[in-house]
Amino acid sequence: MDTDASPIAAPVATDPLWENAHTDYSPGHRPRPAPRGLVADDTEWRTYLQQDTPNGWLLRAGSLLETLADGRPIYLMHTTAYLEAIRASGQLYQAPGCMVGALYCVLLTPGPSGLRPHNLGAWLLENKSHRDILIIEVTPGGPVPAKGIDYLRLGTVHLTAYLGHRSFLTPAEDNQLRGAAVQRVRQAASVLDMLLGVACGADTPADMFLDQLAAAVPLVPFLGYLYFEATSEYLMLHSTGPQTRACAEAGEMNTLLSKDLAFAAVDTMGELFDLALFRPGHARLCELIGQVEPGLVDGAAEYVRRRLAHLFACAALDTSQDAAAVTFAQTTFDTLACTAPGLLGQMLFRMLRANPRYPQLYPAFEQPKASGASAYWNAHGIPAPFNGVIPKGEIGLNMAWPAGARVWTADISQGLLHPAEELPLTLVPRLSDLRDTALGHARFAAADTGRRRNH
């Protein structure tokens, strides 16, 4: 691809809303601002994770980051249940999820015998054999910044979308939403205050910490996501088992550890991957980790205690705040919007998704986020944004990438993918119908399910 076709013509101003929602894995990156009073900042945590864990080197030199850095065409694998509808329409649409509006894919690595899927892709091939496989080639036109979208830090994005579009709610719906969000935070205040205390250095016992955390997840579902990600990070960075060593030799995090954890912890995870249901107490977490890799049980609870508390403080609070001075006991909506906009936004986002009218509200509240993310990616030359909570193989296709992408159906032989039929598809920077998503299919299934597009 001619570099003149790159969407970047000149340096662009950075949008602080979306900049804060990305984690930068490039060497010498500038740390994001953080609340005051924390026992460790992002730089100290990054140094520890990269240098003091067995697999930390993958956070700076893994295959996903190297693929982005070399600037050559990027190959992605996407699974879909709607191939014939895609073929008929000639279009691919945005998909909501952990990468906002990017089409959820897995990295493929070119080799002499075919395209090798990341270990996450191999898991998908084995466990979603009923789905069709697409191969996507996107050309960046130059090195891609190692900035991954971090859905744990999207709270302020969610809050901004709500404040800008709350007129789509009835007054009664809006009052109920605001009141319920505040009430839940107040009910969970002792646990939320405990998290901030630990982030500031309080020595709360790990068993008590995890038991109280698990009990608060039904009130604050966002905590389940934090809990799962902190635990998965611990497993992937500390595992030394044969499977993990084989993945590391290929430059990959062992994503299968997190899959094993999720499906063992929640019986219904195969129906809808809902981390709001991830809430094992201390004893159960130790049992789960023992099932995944027994040698990692010791040290797990303490790691999760410290790491989760730090992640919560950074994701929940405005950077102007002193974490040691914040309490949630008597909070109000306006106070939360000022001191903890990330937490408030996460609360509103997940409660809106439970609204019976969400199928009607979905375009109004979710499309602005997808469009905002796409604009950021185009401005920064990112055709394939990755899940930046940790670079574990989850990577998406930016559906607004000006140069488009090539798409083929896939032939599979001995675990390798080969392009088969090229599909003349147009990338459309508009969200797919809610009925075509996992959330919509699980919670808002309509009688008319004939019109299907992509995942």
Model confidence over 114-158: pLDDT tens digits? Answer: 999 999 999 999 998 889 999 999 999 999 999 999 999 999 999
**166 and 304, same structural domain?**
yes
**394 and 260, same structural domain?**
no
Name the β-bridge partners of 137.
75, 406
| Domain span holding position 283 | 151-359
Is 422 among the domain residues?
yes
**396 and 352, same structural domain?**
no
Q: What's the pLDDT at 448?
A: 41
**260 and 393, same structural domain?**
no
**115 and 218, same structural domain?**
no
CA 242 centroid distance within chain: 27
Q: Is the pLDDT of residue 6 over 90?
A: no
Under DSSP, is residue 434 helix (H, G, I), strand (E, B) or coil? helix
**240 and 127, same structural domain?**
no
Is 375 among the domain residues?
no
How many domains is the chain partitioned into structurally?
2
Taking the C-alpha atoms of residue 317 and residue 340, their distance in angstroms, rounded to an integer, is 4
For the stretch 256-313, pLDDT in tens is: 999 999 999 999 998 889 999 999 999 999 999 999 999 999 999 999 999 999 999 9
Is 37 among the domain residues?
no
- Angle of the 256-265 helix axis to the 119-127 helix axis, nearest 10: 40
Is 437 among the domain residues?
yes
For the segment 237-248, the average pLDDT, to the nearest whole number, is: 98
**Contacts made by residues 161-164, CB under 8 angstroms, sequence distance 24+:** 161/365, 161/366, 161/368, 161/369, 162/345, 162/348, 162/349, 162/352, 162/365, 164/368
Q: How high does pLDDT run on average in the chain?
A: 93
Taking the C-alpha atoms of residue 107 and residue 395, their distance in angstroms, rounded to an integer, is 6
Is 450 among the domain residues?
no
**159 and 302, same structural domain?**
yes
**430 and 402, same structural domain?**
yes
Q: What's the pLDDT at 455?
A: 42
Is 372 among the domain residues?
no
Nearest residue to 289 via CA among 235, 230, 227, 210:
235
Q: What are phi and psi of 347, to 5 degrees?
A: -60, -50
**164 and 98, same structural domain?**
no
User: With pLDDT > 70 as the criterion, what percentage of the chain qualifies?
Assistant: 93
**345 and 236, same structural domain?**
yes
**300 and 351, same structural domain?**
yes
Is 365 among the domain residues?
no
pTM: 0.93
For the stretch 382-435, pLDDT in tens is: 999 999 999 999 999 999 999 999 999 999 999 999 999 999 999 999 999 887
**247 and 155, same structural domain?**
yes
